Amino acid sequence: MGIVFGNKADVPFKIGTKNELIAESIARIILTIPGERPGNLTFGSNVRAFLFENDLLEVKSLIELELLAVLEVQEPRVTLTKIVLTEVSDDLRSMVLALEFVIKNEPGQPKLLFIPLVA
């Protein structure tokens, strides 16, 4: 796990492995709603908004399309190889998103990232 430096007067920065920092970047993109960051209003994804849909198959398709589009632009260092969305509750308000990705131009096994999604 990386180390966070900084104080309340400045923006903290994190030191970690390349894999840790890229995984954190992906999670931050997915969990940030566009418009949430002043000065960078297009940063983020609409993944959490899809948790209010009723049809699980449609939700999975919408989330997959959103992730592919957003990460291609906002995290071009990775290629998603697998997306799995698992229900945690029956009302589709709580899910776990499992992503498998590879870092472009880097040999090695795909990386896994699990992100809890709660509406």
Domains of the chain with bracketed CATH: 3-118 (3.10.450.40)
What the block records as the tokens of 13 is 């920065």
Q: What is the pTM of this model?
A: 0.81
Q: Give pLDDT tens digits along the chain (119 positions).
A: 455 554 555 556 667 888 899 999 999 999 999 999 899 899 999 998 887 777 778 888 999 999 999 999 999 999 999 999 888 877 667 889 999 999 999 888 999 999 998 87
Please give the Cα distance from 9 to 32 (Å, whole number).
23
Is residue 46 helix, strand or coil? coil
Report CA Rg, the chain. 15
